[in-house]
Chain A
Amino acid sequence: MFKTLLALLIFACATVAQATPDAALVRQLADEDSDVKIAAIQTLARTSDPDALRILKAMSEDGLALAGEQVVIVDGDKVFDAATGAPVPAPENAEAVTVNNRIRRELASALAALKLFDSDPAARLESAQRLQSKVDAGMAPLIARALEKESDAEIKALLTLAHAQANLANNDPAARLAAVRALSGSSSPAVKNLLLPLSGQTGGKAGQTGDPDSRVRYAAISAVKAIDARLSRAETIGRIFSGLSLGSILLLGALGLAITYGVMGIINMAHGELLMIGAYSAYAAQSLFRNYFPNAIDWYLPAAVPLAFFSAALIGVLMERTVIRWLYGRALETLLATWGLSLMLIQAARVLFGAQNVEVANPGWMSGSIEPIANLPLPLNRIVIIGFALCVLLLMWVLMNRTRLGMFVRAVTQNRAMAACVGVPTARVDTLAFALGAGIAGLGGLALSQISNVGPDMGQGYIVDAFMVVVLGGVGQLAGAVWAALGLGVVTKLIEGWSGAVIAKIVVLVFVIIFIQKRPQGLFALKGRSVD
């Protein structure tokens, strides 16, 4: 109470003495009591006077001293009177004004507010942005003055918002109403929290009845609603976006699985480890560039694309030729044998790269985010991944539908015996299809390395998810895998928003089990007459 009274008192003094800072006010900067000092700082800051800037700056640099009753600025061996700025002889008994941390914070924000009058637009913009998060009632006149002088549209918009925020505590209901209306177009949670006490709705402090003026109160209620709607829309779009990016990773993982399952009827449990190999290829490429081409480090990722594809494909061919080939027709045993392969690959990664996660950095052009609408940051790396998945998908589509190999793969998927009869080299198609699926998994791992940890165990979590996609989408068609992957990704992220990641996993699993009750062949079943 005392503080406010004092502030008001000083404020009254200050408005009178507009031209040069009042000597009495300046004297208060050197008061014993911190509260008095702070009040004086705030008052000075509001004057938007070049002199005020000079004095506060000196104070923040510990250059303010008290000589008897006169406050002076000590700058090296020169001494000025603080209030007038006139040089004065060096006093003998000058005592430095103590500035504690609380006062230092106050000084920093006061100086920032004064930057609104800086001649450099960049400095003004920065100051206006700072004001968005912390503005108090007393600053309204200051901001209004800055607004009059301002010509830059962007800064002007920010200042209008800040002005309205400062005016929320105005004694005049009309001013408050105008402020609330101006703020209702915002979409920031901070503004919502400012408006909540005025609306008198839940979220305000207990026992709060809202603004005494009913028009202001109603305006506040509808403003809060409008901001809420905007916020939740941004949140939903954000979730769908992260669902899409999860879905594209799932898609890259599942495409390979769907091909091998379609062609050979086996599930490769080491498929997750092919993702891991892709991710470690990114790491290897990064290390290579760091050591040999440090200038082109941002381009290690494009270089890692063929590396990831071919190393995973090579391991895939080896797996197919040495183990899987001998187990055709024994699907359950293939599960076990490929699981054994996955254990060996994990242990090999541990031996080669260490058991710890390795660090794979986003290249410069992939870090950061864009914000198409307020409060909706879309990370660039996820956008790139979605685009990358689309490219891979497109190439896959061309390969499957426009090439001889694609035709063979589809033929073997539909009817292996008949394809063999008309001369399709099924064994070679098997190997190539497996290599292709492995390579795409490697690309998926490359994408994964940009958004999550790279470690020996990273693939284990993805095999189940990727298989869910295959189950949902049905075998043998790209469209099924695409819809299932994106659908599962988005649904998972949406449920995650309501109930957490674990519940989301369980719900998705239950959903898939119920789904295959209805459509055992998946979303897009191949039409055919085969029996098992």
Chain B
Amino acid sequence: MRKAFVFRFLEALDARQQLALAAFLAVTLLLVPILHLALPPGNVFHVSTYAITLLGKIMCYAIVAVAMDLIWGYGGILSLGHGIFFALGGYAFGMYLMRQIGRDGSYHSDLPDFMVFLDWKELPWYWTGSDNFLWAALLVIAVPALVAFIFGYFAFRSRIKGVYFSIITQALTYAAMLLFFRNETGFGGNNGFTDFKRVLGYTITSPETRLVLFGITASVLAATFVFARWLVASKFGRVLTAIRDAESRVMFIGYDPLWFKLFIWTLSAMLCGIAGALYVPQVGIINPSEMSVANSIEIAVWVAVGGRGTLIGPIVGAFAVNLAKSWFTVSFPEYWLFFLGLLFIVVTLLLPQGLVGLWRMLRQAKA
């Protein structure tokens, strides 16, 4: 009997992981909404709007971290420019959100405010169809995928790898950031997109919309995890790991590493684009600083902190680092960079397997 599509993916998880997944979905889809809506703000168990936005944001980051782990932990390709795909997805969805503002902007024009400000008379061609949700959703996936495919094809074809590849991704993202900082590019210059009013007709700041976005993000994160687990356990995943460990040997056996690398690279970019699109309506702003070099490298440290090549590690890392960041930037803003810098060094020097590796080591020591 053919099993339902979803179950084939779920089979990649063992019983414990399936239980954890169910618990995660129950908390994010049922418990958090109930605690947010049913309890008054003063109650100890009330989940505040701030917490929902923060957790929603971190779950978007966790999706990016899983995408990063797929290429770095399993493919051995370290990208220092993944922010570009995240931001492209965010911008693609941001265009739709800007059009949803309609005439409620401060200039009461059909055009987005920043275009009125620049004295533009009509939308540039690449904004065509941006008021259509489905088209925007397509762009969210297609634009990062296209950029990643073209860049990846040329880079992997000439067998650029290791630090060369890392630095070139960084240069790419840096150039894109400069491009998006220009007003003439048509994406709002250094202010980017903000002041969104509604999504699919629903007010974007209402508690219900927030909870729905939160739930969608949680579901996408869960789906990404299950899919990634299935992928790395498949034959494809095993060839990919082999390429990571000994590319030349894989080539001599008869595989062409180009298409394996290109596939995982493009897939990773698509996941980042989706994460970016989920991030924008929850955080309410997208600007070129998302493409800054520092942001992209931070993604790598989430993965490194959690543990590369484990899939659960990046999620743990994204939560740990970003919660620490929220706490530090409020309590000791001056020491955050020292802490982050130290984190980079300590994790690479002392914890090559990350928190997950540490956990495993401790359990083994006990057993």
Contacts and interface: CB of A to CB of B under 8 A. Distances in A.
21 contacts: A267-B163, A267-B167, A326-B349, A327-B348, A330-B348, A332-B162, A332-B163, A334-B163, A336-B348, A339-B344, A340-B344, A340-B345, A343-B341, A343-B344, A464-B170, A464-B171, A464-B293, A501-B178, A502-B178, A506-B179, A513-B155
A427 interface: no
Nearest to B173: A464
A506 B175 contact: yes
Contacts of B174: 464, 505
Interface in A408-440: none
Given A266-B163, A464-B174, A505-B178, A336 B248 contact: no
Nearest to A351: B334
Contact of B160 (A265, A337, A509, A520): A520
A464 B304 contact: no
A468 B171 contact: yes
A220 B87 CA distance: 55
A323 B164 CA distance: 21
B293 A337 contact: no
Contacts of B162: 331-332
- Closest 3 A/B residue pairs (Cβ): A340-B344, A344-B341, A343-B341
B123 interface: no
A506 to B, nearest CB: 5
Contact of A344 (B297, B301, B337, B347): B337
B357 interface: no
A336 B341 contact: no
Given A343-B337, A509-B172, A331 B155 contact: no
Contact of B340 (A340, A464, A532): A340
Interface of B: 72, 78, 80, 151, 154-155, 157-160, 162-164, 166-168, 170-172, 174-175, 178-179, 181-182, 248, 293-294, 297, 300-301, 304, 334, 337-338, 340-345, 347-349, 352
B248 A531 contact: yes
Nearest to A465: B171
A341 B340 CA distance: 10
Contacts of A337: 344-345, 348-349
Nearest to A531: B248
Contacts of A501: 178
A8 B61 CA distance: 80
A331 B348 contact: no
Contact of A336 (B164, B182, B300): B300
Contacts of A344: 337-338, 341-342
A268 to B, nearest CB: 10
Nearest to A323: B345
A336 B297 contact: yes
A520 B334 contact: no
Among B80, B157, B166, B167, chain A packs the most CB atoms within 10 A around the CB of B167
A467 interface: yes
A342 B78 CA distance: 19
Nearest to A460: B293
Interface in A334-382: 334-337, 339-344, 346-348, 351
B345 A517 contact: no
A453 to B, nearest CB: 17
B171 to A, nearest CB: 5
Contact of A513 (B154, B179, B342): B154
